[in-house]
Structure formats: structure tokens, C-alpha cells
Amino acid sequence: MPTKYWTLIVSATLAVPPLLGQYAKPPDAYSLTEINSMFGPPTTMEISRDGSHVSVDQTAPREGYPNGFHTRAIYDLQTSKTYSMDLNQSTPACGAGNFSGDWGDPFATSGQMAQLAPKDLGTDTVNGLPAKVVQVNIPGQAAPGKVWLDAKYGLILKFEMGGKTVIEVKKVSFTKPPASATALPPACAGIAAPPTEAERMSAVTGGNGADFTNAIIAPRSPSNNACTVLFRVVRAGTMAPITSGFQVAVDKTVDLNHPASYNMGVGAGGRMTFSGGGLKELTSQLQNGVLRIDDAPAHFDLETAFGNGGSGSALIYRQCFGPQTVLLYVVKDPARLSDGADWLWVKSGKYATVPPR
């Protein structure tokens, strides 16, 4: 049972009617126990939060396992680190990783659920908690659903869909949980989580990782408008510009449904030749190491060649952070491209503009 099921409920099954009401700011310290059967057998979820520290326990029956499953996830909201354990193991091992965006906070999506109220059904109580009851129309369901919302914060206390209760909060406390509830288990002590994307970018650029974003990953919210892309090559760590010794080619006509076949060969003097699709060499258009790509499409292919140092190829997903947005190819060693390189958009900071020539 995923801990982020609240988001799935709202985004996958419900449309957004007018705002239901205004609620108090959600607390950042609480303990909550609820039963969820949205996606299978009833799963008990116990959530404890104290500021940036969160613990999520999940227990449920599991076919072939007398004790079912019992997992625990610890989230550090400040560092975006997460630690997980299977508590049914005799000696639980700890796994460490990263997360981004919503971790499954029940209050985060309750604010959206509070907008899904085409009909007000009055008030009620759920396990002693006062609630506002609303009816919602759910696509694919013959009958409307009913939602019980906490009167103060808008927390989903109960949700009926398809003639059955799929969410029910059994108990909730809006007081600070004991420190032990969100503490890192001993098995996780000394376990190092891999660096987050921001931490990795910080190490690569020697700056603030939040100033950059990966250019070869499709963004959740694509840029609707085109912008001028200023492409540069720099050294990792120092960010010293590399203004010569490489070739560059661009295909602005990429069709993701019908990918082109590119051919790279070696021409006179050992220089790379580029052909296939709409790929065109633009090395001659470099000015002080900067290539200007006007009206960049939503995605385009970018090829580089560093002679004996190797070559780089990437499908770039456009992200515009201004009328002119800088795209960096950050290489560890241009004489040996196999050492590693990153394609990064510059969102902000001192590299967001190109130094004057």
C-alpha cells in the first residue's frame, strides 16, 4: 500500500468543484491512525510527525504470510532522506533513499479534497471527531461518494466509495508525539542515504544545487512557451568555461513517436560528421563557447564531440526560466568524457546569465 495514496485519490478519480470552505493551517505535529482499503486489503497506517521528522507504519494481511506485512518508513523532510524497514524480519535491515514532493501527508491532499463538494450533507462525527459531510461525484462510479472532513483542518476522516468505506481515521492527536515515535531506528544508524539530486548537483557545480535542474528528465510541468537557449560547456567543480576543442550539433525536429536514426562518422582531420533526422552541426555558430538556440522546441537532440576525448548525446527537455535560459554541459574532463558529465538547466544564481564577451 503506497503511502502517497491521497494524491492518487484526488488526481485519478475526482474532478474539482467549487471551494468547500476555509480551514486552519495544518499542524506540523500530530499522530494519526487510519484504515485504508482503497487499493486492496485493509491497511492500517500509523503516522507520527514532529516538524520535519515523520514515521509511517503500515500493516496489512498478506497471502501466504501468517503475520502479514509490517513496514516502517522514516522521512526527514528537511534533507529529503528516507529510511525503510520490514519489521516482520527477525533482524530488520534498513534501506536508505531519497524522496521528492509529497511524501503522503494526509493534510496535504485534504486541502484539495475540501474543494470537491458539489453537495453539502451537513455535519456528523467520526470516532468522536466533529466532521462536515459532503457528497462528491466520482467518474466511473454508479453512485456518488461521501467524504467526512475534520471541521477544523479539513482532514479526511472517512471516505465512502462504491458502497464501502475505503478510508477511516480511527484516532488522531494534534499534540507533539514522543521523540521515540519519529526517531531513527538503531538499525538505520550509520546507514548513508545516497545524495539527493540537489546534493549531487551541488557537488558537480560547486554551488547551490537548487539553482540547477536535470535537462534530460522530462519536467512535471513543461514550459508552455519557447525561449532562447544559451548552451555552454563548463568544467565540473570549478565551472570554468570550455570555449573550444569541441563540436556541437542540434536536431530541433525531434519526433518522440518516430525517433530518427543518427549517424556520426569521422571526417577529414578527425572531425566528427553528423547526419540523420534534422541533425545539423552548429559549431561555427559558437561565440566565445556559447551556442544560441532560438525558439527552442519542447525537446531537442544535442550532440557534442571532443575529438579523442569522446562524445556526448542527449535528448533535452526544454525548461524555460526566462526569455533566455542557460543550458550547461558540465564535464569532469573534456579529454576523457567517460569520467562523467551532466546536462543541467540553470534556474537561478550567477550562472543563469552568460558573462559578457
Give the per-residue pLDDT at 36. Answer: 92
Whether residue 204 sits in one domain with residue 110: no
Whether residue 241 sits in one domain with residue 136: no
Q: Is residue 357 part of a domain?
A: no
Which of 308, 309, 355, 305 is CA-nearest to residue 332?
Answer: 309
Distance (Å, whole) CA 310 – CA 97: 32
Q: List beta partners, residue 265.
A: 273
Whether residue 237 sits in one domain with residue 132: no
User: 89: exposed, middle or buried (C-beta count within 10 Å: 0-12, 13-18, 19+)?
Assistant: exposed
The helix/strand/coil state of 59 is: strand
Q: List beta partners, residue 349.
A: none
Q: Is residue 67 part of a domain?
A: yes
Please say which residue of 144, 164, 188 terminates a domain: 188
CB count in 10 Å sphere of residue 21 = 13
Residues contacting 182, CB < 8 A, separation 6+ = 48, 49, 50, 53, 54, 55, 74
Whether residue 181 sits in one domain with residue 214: no
Q: Is residue 160 part of a domain?
A: yes
Q: What share of the chain is helix, strand, coil (3-state, %, to 5)?
A: 15, 40, 45
Whether residue 124 sits in one domain with residue 223: no
Whether residue 212 sits in one domain with residue 163: no
Distance (Å, whole) CA 44 – CA 60: 6
Q: Is residue 224 part of a domain?
A: yes
Query: What cell numbers appear for 235 in the block?
Result: 568544467
Whether residue 49 sits in one domain with residue 22: yes
Q: What are phi and psi of 325, to 5 degrees?
A: -125, 135
Which of 279, 203, 204, 202 is CA-nearest to residue 236?
Answer: 204
Give the per-residue pLDDT at 357. Answer: 61
Give the per-residue pLDDT at 99. Answer: 87
Whether residue 126 sits in one domain with residue 233: no
Q: Is residue 64 part of a domain?
A: yes
CATH at residue 37: 2.50.20
Q: Tens of pLDDT along the chain (357 residues)?
A: 344 433 434 333 333 333 345 788 899 999 999 999 988 889 999 999 999 999 999 999 877 777 788 999 999 999 889 999 999 888 889 999 988 777 888 887 655 555 555 588 999 999 999 999 988 877 677 888 899 989 888 899 999 988 899 999 999 999 999 999 999 988 898 888 888 888 889 999 999 999 999 999 998 777 778 899 999 999 999 999 999 999 999 999 999 999 999 999 887 667 899 999 999 999 999 999 999 999 999 999 999 999 999 999 999 999 999 999 999 999 999 999 999 999 999 999 999 998 776
Distance (Å, whole) CA 308 – CA 21: 64
Alpha-helical (H) ranges within 14-118 are 106-113
Whether residue 173 sits in one domain with residue 294: no
Domain that holds residue 243: 197-352
Distance (Å, whole) CA 48 – CA 54: 6
Instruction: Report the relative pairing of strands 324-331 and 228-235 from DSSP bridges.
Output: parallel
Whether residue 142 sits in one domain with residue 38: yes
Q: Is residue 98 part of a domain?
A: yes
Cβ pair 279, 320 in contact under 8 A: no
Whether residue 150 sits in one domain with residue 9: yes
In angstroms, what CA-CA distances link 60 with 33, 127, 156, 158, 346? 13, 21, 21, 19, 45
Distance (Å, whole) CA 235 – CA 204: 9
Q: Is residue 244 part of a domain?
A: yes
Whether residue 160 sits in one domain with residue 232: no
Give the per-residue pLDDT at 349. Answer: 95
The domain tally of the chain equals 2
Q: Is residue 93 part of a domain?
A: yes
Please say which residue of 171, 188, 205 terminates a domain: 188
Please say which residue of 147, 168, 188 terminates a domain: 188
